[in-house]
Amino acid sequence: MEEAAPGNGPFPTEDALAEFLERARTTLTANDVGDFVKPGRYQYPHQWNWDAALVAMGLSHFDEARARKEVRSLLRGQWLDGMIPHVVYHNGSSDYFPGPDFWEIEQSVAAPPGVHTSGLIQPPLLATCVRRMHRRAHDREASLDFIREVYPALLRWHRWLHRARDPEGTGLVAIVHPWESGTDNAARFVQALMQVTPSQVPAYQRRDSRHVSEEERPQHADYERFVYLIDRFRHWGYDPEIMYARSPFLVQDTLFNAVAYQAHEDLIALAEEIGEPTSEIERWRFRLRRAYNNKLWDDEEGLYFAYDARHHQAVRENGVATFMALYAGLADRAQAEVLVGAHLENPEEYAPDAHSRFRVPSQAKNNYFYEPRRYWRGPVWILINWMVMQGLERYGYRELAEQVRQDSLALMASAGFFEYYDPRDGTPAGASDFSWSAALALELVEPLPLAAAR
Ligand code: DGY
């Protein structure tokens, strides 16, 4: 009998751990269709923006050249104005809705020639994952060349975020569609979304419950509005000025801005590697941090809330996005203590209790909209756990970070690499063979040491 692998609780032996890692790698390679790795075997057959960033990071554990190719593929979809879209359709249409034609991106003067993409964005994780790939790289020269190659595209992307989505200079980047948050049906979007009146919704056929149960997906009322908003944007030729000024949905999101803030830090580190100036990025960070704490922090509740910039009100829903301020280092010590002590460790909200075993539910369990199986309304997501874990480490909550890591590994070890998991008993839900879960399994087993924070 072999010794248990230290720190890898769910794996009784080194062999069990090795077999788990092999399954993670195989999930990624089996989803590899050449130009890109599908986020899920059946449910998501194209290349998604933040999935691709995580997939590249996962691939870099065992195939650095293939990891770099993943990033290059995503960048082929970059628009002429710098936007990196949320989906790139390298392989034409499929049984996924919306397909490439639905977007009509040719209405935009900025659409990339010869590539089919969506017209929305997703949280800008790419610079963060590229930096992690670089920190891990064995082939330092190839990695440095790669940074030199992709840095201009990353800088244009970050610049676009502030120019197109913060034309008023608030410091915070706005999203115009819940899909842009990456957490489509989270409770923090309900209030803003339900104020969108979906008149004249174009004909469409949902396809998302072909491979996943309807109870685990967003509801009809959400989809009506998702589609209605896209129809507005294509009608406006995806002009960023018009979208910002007129989109009936305009939210300054906690998760999106925290991801952007961390990505700015990582972009600065990449710039320093190759001797590029950083003052423009430092300015975005400074203003984002100030606005994030002035506008999104609610002192009474001790939580960060998203802000509905169209209706000028905070969205007071308690969801896991509130902890992204820890991930990005946006909270001060006192805020961190409240977030962790009063909320993350509270069994009525996020900590395990008699009915719920796994950390971290995506919605507080006592939130009105909590549904433990429905997409972003409650299930545990490995990406979110990974970010919460990093936040806890950053603020010195080592033991709790380790518990989140162990829970994440235990879920994947027993149920496989799924899109999400029921926090009550770990039942897998959503898409199977989910690439970012597999990528993050590799990352959770072989984490990088904390980078010096700014
Ligand atoms: C989906 O199809 O569920 C995606 O989240 C949209 O990008």
Model pLDDT, residue 6: 46
Q: Are strands 428-429 and 420-421 parallel, antiparallel or unpaired?
A: antiparallel
Percentage of the chain with pLDDT > 70?
Answer: 98
166 in contact with ligand 1, CB cutoff 6 A: no
| Per-residue pLDDT tens digits for 182-232 | 999 999 999 999 999 999 999 999 888 888 899 999 999 999 999 999 999
pLDDT at 260: 99
87 CA closest ligand 1 atom index: 7
- Give the distance (Å) from ligand 1 centre to CA of residue 88: 13
Average pLDDT over residues 24-32: 98
- pLDDT of the residue at 193: 97
**pLDDT digit string (tens) for 392-410?**
999 999 999 999 999 999 9
Contacts 24+ apart (CB under 8 A), 358-361: 358/407, 358/410, 358/411, 358/421, 358/423, 358/424, 358/426, 359/385, 359/388, 359/403, 359/404, 359/407, 359/423, 360/320, 360/323, 360/384, 360/385, 360/388, 360/404, 360/407, 360/423, 361/320, 361/423
- Predicted confidence at residue 451, as pLDDT, reads 72
Report domain extents, the chain. Answer: 14-453
Does the CB atom of residue 184 touch ligand 1 within 6 A? yes
Rounded Cα distance, 130 and 282, in Å: 19
452 pLDDT higher than 90: no
CA distances (Å), 284 to each of 115, 173, 226, 248, 290, in order?
30, 10, 29, 26, 10
Each residue's pLDDT tens digit, 245-272: 999 999 999 999 999 999 999 999 999 9
Tokens at 161, concatenated: 């975020």
Please state the pTM of the whole predicted model.
Answer: 0.96
| 34 alpha carbon – ligand 1 mean position (Å) | 22
Asked if the model's pLDDT at residue 421 lies above 70, the reply is yes
Fold of 14-453: Glycosyltransferase (1.50.10)
- Which band of pLDDT confidence, cut at 50, 70 and 90, is reported for residue 450? confident
Q: Whose CA is nearest to atom 6 of ligand 1?
A: 179
**Angle, helix 49-59 to helix 126-136, in steps of 10 degrees:** 10
Cβ(179) – ligand 1 distance below 6 Å? yes
- How much is the mean pLDDT over the chain? 96
Question: What's residue 356's pLDDT?
Answer: 96
pLDDT tens figures, 81-92: 999 999 999 999
pLDDT in tens, 324-367: 999 999 999 999 999 999 999 999 999 999 999 999 999 999 99
User: For residue 78, what pLDDT is reported?
Assistant: 98
Contact of 360 with 388, CB cutoff 8 Å:
yes
pLDDT at position 448, please? 82
Q: What is the pLDDT of residues 102-120, one digit of tens each?
A: 999 999 999 999 999 999 9
Q: Residue 1: pLDDT above 80? A: no
Instruction: Report pLDDT for 454.
Output: 55
Residue 346 burial by CB count (10 A; 0-12/13-18/19+): exposed, middle or buried? Answer: middle
